Amino acid sequence: KAGVTQTPRYLIKTRGQQVTLSCSPISGHRSVSWYQQTPGQGLQFLFEYFSETQRNKGNFPGRFSGRQFSNSRSEMNVSTLELGDSALYLCASSLVAGGQVNEQFFGPGTRLTVL
Amino acid sequence: DAKTTQPPSMDCAEGRAANLPCNHSTISGNEYVYWYRQIHSQGPQYIIHGLKNNETNEMASLIITEDRKSSTLILPHATLRDTAVYYCIVRAPQGGSEKLVFGKGTKLTVNP
Question: What was the pLDDT predicted at B39?
Answer: 95
**What is the spatial distance between Cα B108 and Cα B60, in angstroms, rounded to a whole number?**
14
**What is the spatial distance between Cα B41 and Cα A57, in angstroms, rounded to a whole number?**
24
Question: What was the pLDDT predicted at B82?
Answer: 97
Q: In the structure, what pLDDT confidence band is assigned to residue B94 with cuts at 50, 70 and 90?
A: low
Query: Of chain A residues 5-44, which have a CB less than 8 A from chain B?
Result: 31, 33, 35, 42-44
Query: Residue A58: its chain B contacts at CB < 8 A?
Result: 99
- CB of B111 within 8 Å of a chain A CB? The answer is no
Q: What is the pLDDT of residues B21-58, one digit of tens each?
A: 999 999 988 889 999 999 988 999 999 999 998 999 99
Those residues of chain A that have pLDDT short of 70 are 1, 97-101
Q: What is the pLDDT of residues B76-93, one digit of tens each?
A: 999 999 999 999 999 877
| CA–CA distances in Å: residue B26 to residues A86, B3, B6, B34, B94 | 34, 7, 14, 15, 18
Q: Do A44 and B100 touch (CB under 8 A)?
A: no
Share of chain B above pLDDT 70, in %: 96
| CA–CA distances in Å: residue A113 to residues A38, A78, A85, B11 | 11, 12, 8, 32
Question: What was the pLDDT predicted at B23?
Answer: 96
Q: What is the pLDDT of residues A2-33, one digit of tens each?
A: 899 999 999 999 999 999 999 999 999 989 99
Smallest CA–CA distance, residue B92 to chain A, in Å, is 8
- CB of B56 within 8 Å of a chain A CB? The answer is no
Assess whether pLDDT exceeds 70 at residue B2: no
Q: Do A106 and B103 touch (CB under 8 A)?
A: no
